[in-house]
Structure 1
Amino acid sequence: MDLEIILVFAVLAVTILLFLTEWFPIDKIAFLIIVSLIILGLVEPEDAISGFADPATVTVLCLMIIAIGLEDNGVIDWLTQAIKRVSILPLILITPVFMLISASISAFISTTAVVIIFIRIVSQLASKYGFSASKLLMPISFAGILGGSCTLMGTSTNLIVNSVAQNLGAERLGFFEFTVYGLIFLAIGVVFMTIASRWLPKDVQLDPADTFGIQEYLFTVTLTEKSDLIGKKLSDTLLNDNPEISIIKLIRDMNVINAPGKYISLKEGDELVLMGQVEDLAKFIHEDDLILHKERKPLDGVEEQTKKEKVKQAPILKYVELLILPGSNLIGKTLRKVRKSRIYNAFPLALQKRKNIRNTKARLIRKDINDIRIKPGDRLLVEMQGESFRDLERIENVAVLNEHEIEDSIPRFRKLSTLMILLAVIGLASSGVLSILASSLTGVGLLLLTNNISLEQIYHKVNWQIVFLLAGMIPLGIAMSNTGTDAWITEQLMKLLSGQSSMMVLGLIFIFTMLLSGTISNNATAIIMTPIAISLATGFDAPLKPFILAVMFAANFSFFTPVGYQTNALIYGTGVYKFRHFLFVGGILSIMLAITATLLLSTLL
């Protein structure tokens, strides 16, 4: 084994480790990959940055921009209102119908955006009709992934596999070339998840305020000189044995007292870290003259006066809950750091950690609330002026979960023209008149010319982490090819699989790709596995297409874990499901699809 191959394996191993541990954001990992490949001499500098101009990267960027246009011009709102009408169906039909709707939309629009829409819709319907939302969210997420696997533009993974395969000499995949296979997988998924939904956790009459609204948050409050709590023992206050509000710690003169005893007397300036619901804490703070977080800055336009005058002159405020999605630039930051930067004139008040076995009250007691790092699935409670609410929609990879009535002032023409542009992109790409890259670029150009989107919107709302991830992983694939790493892996696999049928090799490629996608990013998996699959197909003198499709489908089908695919991480972050639900239900579905895919794709051998 050459030194260059060893170095590529080292970079690959470190990359996988960083993805698994989430020590750094994915865009930082991608940039470090580029730098390491250049320093180690594994690729030329020009090749190291070629990922930014790769057709897959540019196409994904354009499709994200088109999705932003659809959202900002009210097309998504149209869609939301139409989906809500499905609630008139019998409950037994809601799961398959919602799955089919999710799949149909995800074939042409970002799956993540579709799932966010459904989270809000399902929470409202569950509250209204008294059924369990947990029976729907996982099936909807899985259906979105399956639907995205039906067309070339359905997922970024499809585009990446197609681009990498083309660079290695394979023929370009057509827009609907693999749709038949995707529909078969979708049918299996719909039938299975409709039956398997009975195994999912049941939460009776899920209320948006309970599961997708405001739950228990961590707050820091400070006792003022007028507080009635001064001089009282904790046992003599509302905090004593209060089921609604828990005291996590007391901070006095820079000293931290974890889980303070009920006989401790309170003093002016004491800071209390409390856990509870917003309404209960707000009442407690108001009645006992407390300040909500001492580092808080005055609102814009409000002069520094006495606290009572400030309250009288302050504008009407709203509390808004934000769900942190994978890829958000808030991930990894502490509450203290986020407070300093402000979020579109919204002040972060409190943080709710994602429900899992690690985020126990005992563990939170040991940490400073302001130094707890934000992770995907956490929720951030912010306070803001009502008129600034729409600004929150500009935050990348953050879902606004609270329901607010916002006046619809978008002209009908803009909605229709944006929808027509999307249909034109689909039509041009599917008919073969233009490539998916050319048609998506044309779509973005039309959005800009019609003023249906602005460059400012693009700069602020595009998920640049995905762009950097693709740009960083593509040169890693180039390094594997240039150094002969993919050829070496293929040679070892050829020896190991000697005497096996092409069908068996195809099945093993599918299973290994699916397992890898369940531990790291599906896009990263596609870039790593596509060259290996093509080399194996060449070595076994088999057609390339079934092996390329095997990687593409398998990289998407990591249903057995919430890690691999963004939508699974999103519904996992709601706290409704535990890891075992993905492992059990998603695992069975993954096995069924792996067997079916191997049998179907082997007909192309």
Structure 2
Amino acid sequence: MPIPSYHALAAMIVTLGMFVGFARGRMSAEIVSLLTIAVIAVGMYFFPLPHSEPSDGLVLAFSGFGHYALITICALMVMGRGLVVTGALDPAARFLERVFKFNQQLGLLLSLVAAMALSMSVNDTPVLVLLLPIFVGLAARGGLPASKTLIPINAAVLIGGMATTIGTSTNILVVSIARDLGLRQMGVFHFTPIVATAALVALPYLWLVMPRLLRDNSPEEMQAHRRFVTRLRIPAGSDLVGKHFDEVIGKLPADFRFEERPDGPFQEGMQLSVSGTHDAIEEAGRVLKGQVAPGWVIDRIRRKGSEKDQDVHVVEMVVTADSRLVGRTLATSGIADLYNIAILGIHKPDSMLRTQTIDPRGELRLVEGDVLLAMGLDADLQEFASSDSLLLLEGGREVPRRSKALLSTAIMLFSVGMASVGLLPIAIAALGGAILMFVTGCVKFDRVGRALSGKVIVLVAASIAIGRLILETGTAAWLGQVLSLGLQFLPPAAVLAAIMLFVTLLTNFASNATAATVGTPIAFAIARQLGLPPEPLVLAVLFGCNLCYATPIAYQTNMLIMAEGDYKFSDYIRTGVPLVILMVVTLSVLLVFTYGL
């Protein structure tokens, strides 16, 4: 057995140390990532590789921060942010919401199957970019928590991408290397039946088991449980006009209710007292085409925001004892005229006080402790809070810029299309799409920090440095030599499983490209030594490169979902390792039967 160089041995120790640091979870992922980069930088500076300079080690350690993979991930995050802030994916989210409300298990099953099918013909990264904001929005609407759906959806996308030669860039790389080594050209659907069968075996795990292994990481937001009382105005063109109460009540959210019921059909100009959570009031207004604030105020706010190129915000404000609003009603407060602010609802701290805070005209009087749901531009909201002694609560949100929804969708589809058909690399297509999002105003440049995740950025940089370290120190080549020595005594099925596990180990701790580059020639060499056909061994490499479920650093889609699902390293290990084992066993058996080994 060959002896590894001390650089290769050190690379294995650093990789194992990073894995243990992530798995134990005592330090944040950011700290472990930065420590890994620091250890590589210092070690390579004082102990450089043969025929290299100390400064080359620094370049290797910090190369991840300028790597195309990191640029791609950041650009994809920006484009996803553009779809969210423009409300472009709301229709798809509402459709899935109806399916999930009918039956959550059915909704998840349909989503998993759709993700697999899409990624067979479209590169898996763009597919996940399209699906990610939909499921985050679905979670915000009361569907399954994002932390329970994103890892299963990501796994479904990766399995689907494994089914065709164009599903992932790694598949293309393995097939190209194998062809250069003398293997016949594989068609697009050459190995699709094998992967489709394995997908059917894995689907029950993704659907029924994996969500149960994941925690609900949804943040506890107090405003989600806060009910606001407001007036629903029925303008001309509203779906309520001419309808009776019983005809519309079934269309409304569960957290919305009418506080008063009209005697006859709804009439234009009618104002009715309603209550609900912020989300429920917003959804009911969209369904019924009603207004919870005077239309002229909302139109003026949006017009002013468009003129100044500023976002409209909805925030919550608490009325303090010093506020001039105490004892007044919304009609007598002059808020709209003074500050260009629309009050969408009032939350009372104690419902028993309501009977004591109604004036003779039936309007609610404001008292200390009331929470106002206010809509306006940021500067106007700040002036309102300061002048009228209001306490501005955290957790405000931007009103979607729906006028740019079609534009953001077109940019996303154009970028995804260019990458999917191979006209542009995914890095160039994503970067161009992100720039277009900025130029067209779909995403504001000063808000780009909300789209990016610092944890993901340093994690990507550390994983790229580890991958280069494993490759350039000869660690991957040494592991391949050791593997080839040990496989000569094993039956063909075990040889396939061992190769797949070896490549899976590389792809989860180095990179798909490294695993493909190292694993494909090794598979050919082993096939010659053992007298086996090379094609099943090459497919074992190809499948192993795609079994990247066990760590967040294994593939860029794993990192894309990390921030949105608030995942820890242990979440990937807990759910990914069983899936890797299941897929390795299933695919190995299928290869043995398919090729008669």
Q: What aligned pairs does 1:440-451 form with structure 2 within 5 A after superposition?
A: 440-451=430-441
Deviation at 1:468, TM superposition (A): 3.2
Deviation at 1:71, TM superposition (A): 2.0
Query: Quick check: 474-483 or 61-70, which moved more?
Result: 474-483
Alpha-carbon distance in 1 for matches of 2:116, 2:378 = 28
Structure 1 residue 144 and structure 2 residue 150: aligned? no
Alpha-carbon distance in 2 for matches of 1:175, 1:60 = 30
- CA shift in 2, pair 1:141/1:480, >3 Å: closer
Cα deviations by residue, 1:108-146 (Å, 9 ceiling, x for unpaired): 5585995675476468667xxxxxx69x97566413321
Tell me what 1:61 maps to. Answer: 74
Deviation at 1:86, TM superposition (A): 1.6
Tell me what 1:415 maps to. Answer: 405
Deviation at 1:509, TM superposition (A): 3.7
Cα deviations by residue, 1:63-116 (Å, 9 ceiling, x for unpaired): 222222222222233332222122464566334224335656884558599567
Cα deviations by residue, 1:258-287 (Å, 9 ceiling, x for unpaired): xxxxxxxxxxxxxxxxxxxxxxxxxxxxxx
Q: What aligned pairs does 1:1-20 form with structure 2 within 5 A after superposition?
A: 1=3, 2-20=5-23
Report if the CA contact (8 A) 2:79-2:412 is conserved.
yes
Tell me what 2:38 maps to. Answer: 32
Report if the CA contact (8 A) 2:437-2:443 is conserved.
yes
Report if the CA contact (8 A) 1:65-1:462 is conserved.
yes
Report if the CA contact (8 A) 2:466-2:510 is conserved.
no
Unaligned runs of 5+ in 2: 223-317, 327-370, 380-393, 529-533
Tell me what 1:351 maps to. Answer: none
Unaligned runs of 5+ in 1: 127-132, 216-307, 317-382, 392-401
Report if the CA contact (8 A) 2:75-2:430 is conserved.
yes
Report if the CA contact (8 A) 1:526-1:552 is conserved.
yes
Match of 1:550 among 543, 546, 551: 543
- CA shift in 2, pair 1:452/1:182, >3 Å: farther
- CA shift in 2, pair 1:74/1:580, >3 Å: closer
Match of 1:592 among 565, 582, 585: 582
- CA shift in 2, pair 1:15/1:139, >3 Å: closer
Query: TM-score normalised to the size of structure 2?
Result: 0.52
- Number of residue pairs matched by the alignment: 406
Alpha-carbon distance in 2 for matches of 1:137, 1:309 = 35
Cα deviations by residue, 1:377-434 (Å, 9 ceiling, x for unpaired): xxxxxx999669999xxxxxxxxxx9989644420xx211221222222222222222
Report if the CA contact (8 A) 2:500-2:541 is conserved.
no
- CA shift in 2, pair 1:71/1:486, >3 Å: same
What is the identity, as a one-letter code, of the residue corresponding to 1:482? E
Deviation at 1:579, TM superposition (A): 8.4
What is the identity, as a one-letter code, of the residue corresponding to 2:440? T
Deviation at 1:310, TM superposition (A): 6.0
Q: What aligned pairs does 1:483-522 form with structure 2 within 5 A after superposition?
A: 483-500=473-490, 504-511=494-501, 522=508
Alpha-carbon distance in 2 for matches of 1:532, 1:199 = 34
Tell which structure's C-alpha radius of gyration is larger: 2
Alpha-carbon distance in 2 for matches of 1:38, 1:387 = 56
Query: Quick check: 523-532 or 455-464, which moved more?
Result: 523-532
For the residue of structure 2 that corresponds to 1:555, the secondary structure is: coil
Structure 1 residue 78 and structure 2 residue 60: aligned? no
Q: What aligned pairs does 1:200-279 form with structure 2 within 5 A after superposition?
A: 213=220
Report if the CA contact (8 A) 2:8-2:473 is conserved.
yes
Report if the CA contact (8 A) 1:31-1:472 is conserved.
yes
Tell me what 1:297 maps to. Answer: none
Report if the CA contact (8 A) 1:86-1:94 is conserved.
yes
What is the identity, as a one-letter code, of the residue corresponding to 2:453? N
Query: TM-score normalised to the size of structure 1?
Result: 0.52
What is the identity, as a one-letter code, of the residue corresponding to 2:476? D
Deviation at 1:149, TM superposition (A): 4.3
- CA shift in 2, pair 1:15/1:495, >3 Å: same
For the residue of structure 1 that corresponds to 2:427, the secondary structure is: helix
Tell me what 2:523 maps to. Answer: 537
Cα deviations by residue, 1:570-591 (Å, 9 ceiling, x for unpaired): 899799xx989957xx776544
- CA shift in 2, pair 1:176/1:21, >3 Å: farther
Tell me what 2:311 maps to. Answer: none
Tell me what 2:64 maps to. Answer: 51
- CA shift in 2, pair 1:546/1:8, >3 Å: same
Report if the CA contact (8 A) 1:99-1:143 is conserved.
yes
Tell me what 2:24 maps to. Answer: 21
Alpha-carbon distance in 2 for matches of 1:507, 1:389 = 60
For the residue of structure 2 that corresponds to 1:556, the secondary structure is: coil
What is the identity, as a one-letter code, of the residue corresponding to 2:546? F
Tell me what 2:271 maps to. Answer: none
- CA shift in 2, pair 1:60/1:309, >3 Å: closer
Deviation at 1:525, TM superposition (A): 6.3
